[in-house]
Structure 1
Amino acid sequence: MTFGLPPSLDDIETIARASLGRLPEPFAGYLKNVVLIVEDIPSEDLLDQFEIEDAYELTGLYTGRPAELEVMTGDLPPMIHLFRRAILDEWADGGVTLEDLVSHILIHETGHHFGLSDDDMEWLEAELKKP
């Protein structure tokens, strides 16, 4: 029996960028300044900041000002963080493809950027699945 290598950070980033590229306007245009960061696990500082005890429970995180509050300041740009190890753990539980899972997490974090409702996020996910 042979096993392949687990998806890498670059693999997760490629999937996430492809999902971002399929977002409809006006969302795609608004997200051009959002930084995408893919890491294995969140830093201890980040976990402490958000009072999260288990790094493997956090698959994604949006940091920064919501879109409606963005102004040109010295602040860091808005960021979407994806955490590979937690994503792979959730993916291993089965039920969805890695592409669908990464897209779901990305849409959820993007939704925070726009202040979207759960219904709006479901609509965006459906838009990504259209051929």
Structure 2
Amino acid sequence: MKYPIAIEPGNDTSAWGVVVPDLPGCFSAADNGIDEAIENAKEAISLWIEDAIAHKEAIPRPSSITDLQQSGEYDGWIWAIAEVDPALIDDTIERVNITLPRRILALLDQRAKSAGETRSGYIAQMTLTR
């Protein structure tokens, strides 16, 4: 997924500001230029999407830069694209094969059972809450 981002240029005394217009409240900043601003925006977008999924909120589709520029809200800002992995919003079930020592697997199964989860459910829950 490719989200347009608006970047407010920084200088020696202020950071580069970044806004993701399609994702309300999603913003970031960078001290070391446009490349860092784009990378930080990718992280902010990923976290925003993760939070939206956790709260069962809709994830807006990316707009075109042309449409966003017409609003005039970010005149003088630099436009760029922050690309994030579409797997972030893909809930397709996928079977995986992992290798663990038996003692770790036994501990994992014990903790999953205590939590009232399956092994897979427990691993997924740990991933989402850490």
TM-score scaled by length of structure 1: 0.23
Greater helix share, structure number? 1
TM-score scaled by length of structure 2: 0.23
